């Protein structure tokens, strides 16, 4: 049972927009801790795609955007492409656990 809750899967056709939610609590996201997002393709290490809630590393396409409100955060992928098919994980810090925490992961499928 992950501390941060994500939907197991989302899907969309090429060119469409998909949104992945990440629900936390008052001890992690709601405490003002930043949310970060990672993309993982099968057989590879995770890759940071959004840091600090809504900031993209320079090498990440601007199709990826993040937001945060209250105890939740979201990752949006617009203009979905075949290469976006991967698992995505949200991550924050939990003050009560004194621990980094991850969501359970969401599999993005491009139809």
Binding site for other proteins (CB under 8 A): 2, 34, 36, 38, 40, 45-48, 51-52, 55, 57, 87, 89, 91, 93, 97-105
Q: Which residues contact 95 (CB under 8 A, 6 or more apart)?
A: 27, 28, 31, 33
Q: Where are the beta strands (DSSP E) in 24-98?
A: 36-40, 47-50, 64-69, 72-77, 86-94
Nearest-approach distance from CB 103 to other proteins, in angstroms: 8
Closest CB to other proteins among 15 and 56?
A: 56
Q: How far is the CB of 54 from other proteins (least distance, A)?
A: 11
Q: How far is the CB of 75 from other proteins (least distance, A)?
A: 13
Are 71 and 30 in contact by the 8 Å Cβ rule? The answer is yes
């Amino acid at each position: 049972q992950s501390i941060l809750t994500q939907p197991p899967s989302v899907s969309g056709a090429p060119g469409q927009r998909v949104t992945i939610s990440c629900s936390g609590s008052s001890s992690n996201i709601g405490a003002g801790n930043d949310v970060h997002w990672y993309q993982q393709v099968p057989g590879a290490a995770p890759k940071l795609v959004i840091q600090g809630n809504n900031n993209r590393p320079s090498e990440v396409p601007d199709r990826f955007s993040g937001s945060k409100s209250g105890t939740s955060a979201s990752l949006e992928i617009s203009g979905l492409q075949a290469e976006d098919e991967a698992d995505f994980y949200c991550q924050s810090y939990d003050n009560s656990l004194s621990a980094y925490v991850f969501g359970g992961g969401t599999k993005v499928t491009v139809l």
